[in-house]
Amino acid sequence: EKSAYVSDTVTLFDKLSILAGLRYTSYKSKSWNWLSQALTSDYRTDGFTPTFALLFKPDPGTTIYASYIQALAEGTIVGDVYANKGEILPALTSKQYEIGAKWQRTDWDATVALFRLDRGANLITADNRLVQDGVERYQGLEVARRYRVNPAWSFGLSGVYVDGTHQKAANSWLIGRPLHGTAKF
């Protein structure tokens, strides 16, 4: 994976600014059969994804923000247990929306954020094929607090609540169902 990122923050008013960025990502992957030494897959994908954030700073140690980020994820190389083994699924773009606040003081800091992340889903069909179908949605709340005892020592506590569900699936019975392997906390 190779990537390059450029961004800039523009101050609109005394306490309001916009961050805008663009990332270029390039994935290149080759796989070989270790017995025959034959090339089994040669995969390459690339693309540009944006980042935007609106930042409000009511005081120097407080930031309230809203952000939108896209990311490019490498396509899956289908494993040997599936009927379409060796097939390379297309790259996926994820989209993340977040609103939150951050506080930074002399001896403590804290964050709270509401988020939603949508990304493509891989599913197994009735004929044992791994395919991309629908969208996985992760949404929830993240909180964190840290206290600095002295410059060398700090203690922190953080937690995340996640509600993960299937969205926009061709198999309508999946829509709204929980995502496998996603813990609530």
pTM over 0.85: no
Q: Rounded to whole angstroms, what are the CA distances from 177 to 136, 160, 166?
A: 10, 20, 6
Residue 173: the pLDDT is 73
Relative to beta strand 92-104, strand 39-59 is unpaired
The 8-class DSSP code of residue 170 comes to S
pLDDT in tens, 24-83: 998 887 777 778 888 776 778 888 999 999 999 999 999 999 999 999 888 888 888 999
Residue 174: the pLDDT is 76
pLDDT in tens, 125-175: 889 998 888 899 999 999 999 999 998 999 999 999 999 988 877 777 778
14 or 158, which is more confident? Answer: 158
